[in-house]
Amino acid sequence: GENVEQHPSTLSVQEGDSAVIKCTYSDSASNYFPWYKQELGKRPQLIIDIRSNVGEKKDQRIAVTLNKTAKHFSLHITETQPEDSAVYFCAASNADSSYKLIFGSGTRLLVRP
Amino acid sequence: DVKVTQSSRYLVKRTGEKVFLECVQDMDHENMFWYRQDPGLGLRLIYFSYDVKMKEKGDIPEGYSVSREKKERFSLILESASTNQTSMYLCASSPAENLAKNIQYFGAGTRLSVL
């Protein structure tokens, strides 16, 4: 089955700097890759996703890139702000055949003011 | 606005007790999921259901069972709670027509402590 690895487990950046979180997946049939953000004490919420037919997607300060050949995808946050501090989870899915998401282990991002 | 509601935010139970965790969604979603969240392990799928009375095992079903008698409600059952089931439990739902984008909507979580 699918396995998703996520790095780093913790990341501390200065406000205004960029943050990058990386994930690798094992199943070449996976074609849908969402990212969820979980603020302290709150529920995970989808912040951005990408399908395998595109290599990059942007939404204001966040972007996701996908390298199908290497089977890895990354979340990029530019001009980080204290409110970006949260745990971020990547996930992978074969959205043609399954409703299941396989999650990575999470990255705790701390943005220092 | 999708709403997934878990009946309790915090629960404290004794070893050996039967525990019910309840989840209700108000968006008529076909799919519902139960995860447990532990530090450094991410979200691990326990069980999911894609229709009323249908269920499938996830990655860590041992020690758990589920019930889905109505479309909006998905219950997680710990038949005999053990200390290693102390964790945060998250429920999620997703619509069937969203297969191309498996967006899941999460509840706020239930933090269960088994003493």
pLDDT band at B98 (very low <50, low <70, confident <90, very high): low
Q: Is the pLDDT of residue B100 over 60?
A: no
Cα distance between residue B67 and residue B49, in whole Å = 9
Distance from CA of B102 to the nearest CA of A (A): 6
Could A32 and B109 be called an inter-chain contact, meaning their C-beta atoms sit closer than 8 Å?
no
For residue A73, the cross-strand partners are A23, A66
Identity of residue A82? P
Average pLDDT score over residue span B69-76: 96
Cα distance between residue B57 and residue B73, in whole Å = 17
Question: What is the structure's pLDDT at A97?
Answer: 79
Question: What is the structure's pLDDT at A1?
Answer: 82
For residue B79, the cross-strand partners are none
B32: closest chain A residue by CA: A99
Question: What is the structure's pLDDT at B101?
Answer: 63
Cα distance between residue A112 and residue A13, in whole Å = 6
Could B99 and A96 be called an inter-chain contact, meaning their C-beta atoms sit closer than 8 Å?
yes
> Would you give the distance in Å from CA A56 to the centre of its chain?
12
| pLDDT tens, residue order, chain A (113 aa) | 889 999 999 999 999 999 999 999 999 999 999 999 999 999 999 999 999 888 999 999 999 999 999 999 999 999 999 999 999 999 999 877 788 899 999 999 999 99
B107 and A CB contact within 8 Å: yes
Detail the DSSP E strand segments found in chain A.
4-7, 10-14, 19-25, 32-38, 45-51, 56-59, 62-67, 72-77, 86-92, 102-103, 107-112
pLDDT band at B86 (very low <50, low <70, confident <90, very high): very high
Which has the closest alpha carbon to B56: B36, B32, B85, B22? B32
Task: Answer for the pair B95, B102: CB distance below 8 angstroms, yes or no.
Answer: no
Q: Is the pLDDT of residue B46 over 60?
A: yes
Question: What is the structure's pLDDT at A94?
Answer: 87
Cα distance between residue A32 and residue A96, in whole Å = 9
A66 and B CB contact within 8 Å: no
